[in-house]
């Protein structure tokens, strides 16, 4: 069993996983001001909640899209498990063929979910990751990472709307009862939730047109459970996709 951590702009996903199963998935807030010791205490407390001895873990791996704290988190993990922690990036084997103008610019989280998708699902496939940004990753039938799309995240859109429209305020993200809202809050929920779902449906259609066939579609990320049920396409929600990808990359880099 290893400790797998993905550092996002808003949340850090943490979990334990091995070849057989994912033991837990938790999220904490990303905090650029925390020290390695503070992160170490948080991670240790989470492991203790699940009765997991940090020193009994085989190893750890971290992926990150927040460079300022990547090394801080890596050091915090090494502090509690007493073993080296891998960091997804240059020099680490992923087995993914990235067909992009500049492969080095592809986010490590997108690489990790694509690696997991190749192992778990039929290609071609799309991975929709709904976090601070909503991203769509496309892997073709030959298992090449060929590109994708990046859009404002659901909460980012909602917060921007509330900040820039003086008569609108932040609301909780809940499923609207109808597409046609009868008051301001219902109208906003319809626009944010159903509008986001409709956008994803439309993007899936466009990706399918360019691929020349219908792809398998997988969704992950903290907001996927709110938006995806309203999509008209068949979309598989896999909340553990990132951790599965981190396990695969960790395993690839243990082979002699």
The CATH fold of domain 2-87: Nucleotidyltransferase; domain 5 (3.30.420)
Mean predicted confidence (pLDDT) in 6-35:
92
pLDDT digits (tens, 9 = 90+) for 97-119: 999 999 888 989 999 999 999 99
The whole-chain average pLDDT of the chain stands at: 92
Q: Where are the domains of the chain?
A: 2-87, 97-244
Query: 101: annotated binding-site residue?
Result: no
Instruction: To the nearest 10°, report the CA torsion of 59, 17, 27, 98.
Output: 80
Per-residue confidence band for 167, with pLDDT thresholds at 50, 70 and 90: low
Per-residue confidence band for 166, with pLDDT thresholds at 50, 70 and 90: low
For residue 140, give the DSSP letter. -
Q: Do domains 2-87 and 97-244 have the same CATH topology?
A: yes
Which residues does the annotation mark as catalytic? 109
Query: 6: annotated binding-site residue?
Result: yes
pLDDT for the residue 163: 81
Integer-rounded Cα radius of gyration of the chain: 19
User: Is 155 a residue whose pLDDT tops 90?
Assistant: no
| Beta carbons within 8 Å of 32's beta carbon, 6+ residues apart | 66, 68, 69
97-244 falls under which CATH superfamily?
A: ATPase, nucleotide binding domain (3.30.420.40)
Residue-wise burial string across 50-64, b where 16 or more C-beta atoms lie within 10 A, e elsewhere: eebebeebebbbbbb
| Beta carbons within 8 Å of 189's beta carbon, 6+ residues apart | 171, 173, 174, 175, 176, 181
Query: 3: annotated binding-site residue?
Result: no
User: Is 221 a residue whose pLDDT tops 80?
Assistant: yes
pLDDT for the residue 185: 87
């Amino acid at each position: 069993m290893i400790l797998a951590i993905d550092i996002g702009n808003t949340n850090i996903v943490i979990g334990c996983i091995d070849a057989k199963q994912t033991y837990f998935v938790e999220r904490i807030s990303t905090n650029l001001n925390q020290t390695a010791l503070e992160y170490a205490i948080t991670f240790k407390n989470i492991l203790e909640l699940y009765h997991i001895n940090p020193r009994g873990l085989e190893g750890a791996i971290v992926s990150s899209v927040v460079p300022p704290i990547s090394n801080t988190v890596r050091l915090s993990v090494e502090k509690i498990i007493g073993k080296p922690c891998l960091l997804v990036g240059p020099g680490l084997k992923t087995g993914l063929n990235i067909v992009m103008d500049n492969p080095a610019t592809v986010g490590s989280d997108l690489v990790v979910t694509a690696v997991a998708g190749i192992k778990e699902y039929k290609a071609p496939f799309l991975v929709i990751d709904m976090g601070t940004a909503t991203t769509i990753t496309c892997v073709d039938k030959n298992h090449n990472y060929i590109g994708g799309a990046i859009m404002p995240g659901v909460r980012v859109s909602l917060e921007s709307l509330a900040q820039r429209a003086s008569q609108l305020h932040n609301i909780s993200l809940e499923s609207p009862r109808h597409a046609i809202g009868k008051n301001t809050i219902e109208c906003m929920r319809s626009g944010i939730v159903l509008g986001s779902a409709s956008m994803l449906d439309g993007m899936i259609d466009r990706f399918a047109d360019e691929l020349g066939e219908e792809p398998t579609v997988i969704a992950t990320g903290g907001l996927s459970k709110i938006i995806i049920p309203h999509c008209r396409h068949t979309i598989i929600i896999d909340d553990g996709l990132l951790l599965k990808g981190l396990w695969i990359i960790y395993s690839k880099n243990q082979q002699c």
